[in-house]
Structure 1
Amino acid sequence: MATVIPEEILASMRAAAKLEWPGDRDMQEWMLENELSAYRAIHDLDFGAANSVREAIMREADEFSETWEDRSTIVLAEVEAFNALQALQPEDVPAELVADLKRRAAAEEDRYEHQLEEVNGGIEHYRYVQRTRAAVAPRRDLMVRMERILGSECYNDNIQNYSSWGAWEGEGRSFRYPVTFVRDGRTEKRRQRTDDLAAEELITGHYKFGANDLSVYRALMKIIDMLETDYRLDLAAGAPRGSDR
C-alpha cells in the first residue's frame, strides 16, 4: 500500500521546490520526487529497537535539517547506529567494558551515530592494548637490554670535561641518551627505570632529535621479529648460559 502524503506536507514540498528552483519546472519536479521518496523512506522504515527513541530521533532530524532528504539521511543513520549499539557485544571484549564505553559515549554525545563511533573506538583501543601486551611480553626483557646498550653509546666530542678541582681533562664525553615515553597522553623522559610501564606505554619509547623522533622500541621489536623469522631466534628457550640478564 502506497504511503499517503498529508496534503500540508505535500504543499510545503512543492513550495520549497519552487523556492529552490524558480522558473525551472524540471528541477522542481526532480526535487519533489526526491522529497517524496525521502518522506516514504522515513514513514516505511522499520525502527526495530530504536522505536523506543523514535520521537527523539525525529526531533533531532527536524532540528538539523530543512528538507526531507536531509531528514531521511539523519533518521536512517541514527536508527542504524542505535540498533547497532544495542546489539554490540564482541566476544573478545569484557561485557562490563563495553557497557562502560556505552555509558560514557551516551553522556558525551547526543547523536547515536557519534556514540557508536566512540564505542567502536574504545573497543579497538582495548584490542590494540591486548595485541601489544601479547606481542611485547615475551620480548620485553630483551628489548629493554638492547635499548640500554644502544642508548649508552652516545658521544659528544664538543663537551668540555673538567675535574672537580677545575682542571681541564679533555674533550668529548659518552652519555646515556634519554628515552621519551607517552603515558596518559603526556610525554616523560627516562634513562633507567621501565618496569612500571605497561606494554602499550613501553612500545611508545622513542629518542627525540630536535624535531625528529626515532621510535627505538618499535624498531627493536621489528629487529627481534626479523631475528625470530630469519635466524630462528627462540626467546622461549631463555637466555644463553653466562649471559648478564
Structure 2
Amino acid sequence: MADKIPPEIFLEIRRVASAEWPDSPEMQQYMVDAEATAYRKLAKLDFGGALEQKAAILKEAHEYYQSWQDIVSFVSEEVDAFNTLAAFAPEDVPVGFVTEQKRKARVEHDWFASQLEDVQQAVEAYRYVQRTRAKVGPIRDLLVRMESIIGSECYNANIQNYSAWGVWEGEGRAFRYPVTYIRNGQEEKRKARTDDLEPEALITCHYKFGANELSIHRALVRIIDMLRNDYDLKIPGDEDRA
C-alpha cells in the first residue's frame, strides 16, 4: 500500500483516517486506500504546458485543501484550465478581444479555472452581441415603429380630465405606455429616442406591469420571424440574409 509514497505522508494518511473513523477499521482502510490512490495520481499527473506553474498550483492546493483527494482534484482542474486557456483562440472572435479578456481575467483571479470561466463567458457574450446585431440591426426601424403603434394604444378609463380652468371634461385618456431598456447593465426609461441604442440594447425594450415584464421587442422579432416563415413576408434587406 505504501509503495512509492513517502513514509511520513503514508503515516499521516493513516493518522487522519484513524481520527476520522476511530470505531470503524473498514472505513479507515477505505480512506487510506482512497487517499493513497489520490497521492499516486498527483505524483503521476502530467502538467504539460502548465509545468512552470506547478509550484504555484501545488501551493494554492495545499493552502485550501487538506485531503489528497481534494488536492489532486483541484490541481487537475487547474492544469486542465491553464492548458485550455493557453490554447483558447476561437476562430470567430478577434484575437485582440480574446487577448484582452485573458489579461483582465489574470488581474481578477489567481485560479486558472476562474480565469477560463471569465474568458469563456466574455466570448459567449461577444457572440451573443454579434448574433443580435446581425438579426436585429436590419429590422430595427420596423421594430421601433411597431412598438410605437402598440405602446400608443393604451387607454385608462379612470383618468379624470380637467381643463386648465378646472372644468371637468370627461373621463378616460389615451396615453403612450412607457418603455424600459437595459444598456450597460442599467435600466433606462425612454419616451421616443432609440437611434443611440445598439441592437443588443434595443432588443431589451420591455413594458413593466408591477412585478411583471413584457419583452415587446423580442415578441415582435418572433412575430416577424413567423410572418417570414409562414407567410413569406419580405422585408427590404432580406436579400442580404439569403
* Separation (CA, whole Å) in 2 of partners of 1:22 and 1:173: 79
Q: Which residue of 1 aligns with 2:135?
A: 135
CA 1:148–1:35 in 2, change beyond 3 Å: closer, same or farther? Answer: same
Alignment check: 8 A CA contact 1:152 1:176 kept: yes
What is the aligned partner in structure 1 of residue 170 from structure 2?
Answer: 170
Aligned-partner residue type, residue 194 of structure 2: T
Q: Unpaired segments of 5 or more residues in structure 1? A: 239-245
CA contact (8 A) 1:3 1:43 kept: no
% identical aligned pairs:
56
Tell me the C-alpha RMSD between the 2 structures: 1.4
* Map of 1:96 onto structure 2: 96
- Count how many residue pairs are aligned between Structure 1 and Structure 2: 237
Any idea what the Cα deviations from partners look like across 1:106-164, whole Å, max 9, x if unmatched?
A: 11112111111111100000000001111101211111110000000011111111222
The residue type paired with residue 122 of structure 2 is G
Tell me the distance in 1 between the aligned counterparts of 2:3 and 2:9. Answer: 13
TM-score normalised over the length of structure 1? 0.93
- Local SS of the residue matching 1:235: coil
Give the secondary structure class of the aligned counterpart of 1:236.
Answer: coil
Distance 2:236 2:194 in 1: 22
Give me the TM-score of the superposition, normalised by structure 2. 0.95
Structure 1: 4+ residue segments shifted above 3 A: none
Matched residue of 2:90: which SS?
coil
Task: Measure, in 1, the Cα distance between the counterparts of 2:237 and 2:44.
Answer: 64
Kindly tell me: are residues 149 and 29 of structure 1, through their superposed partners in 2, closer, same or farther at Cα, counting changes over 3 Å?
same
Q: Name the amino acid aligned to 1:155.
A: Y
| Structure 2 residue runs without a partner (length 5+) | none
Distance 2:62 2:33 in 1: 20
For residues 165 and 25 of structure 2, the distance between their equivalents in structure 1, rounded to whole angstroms, comes to 96
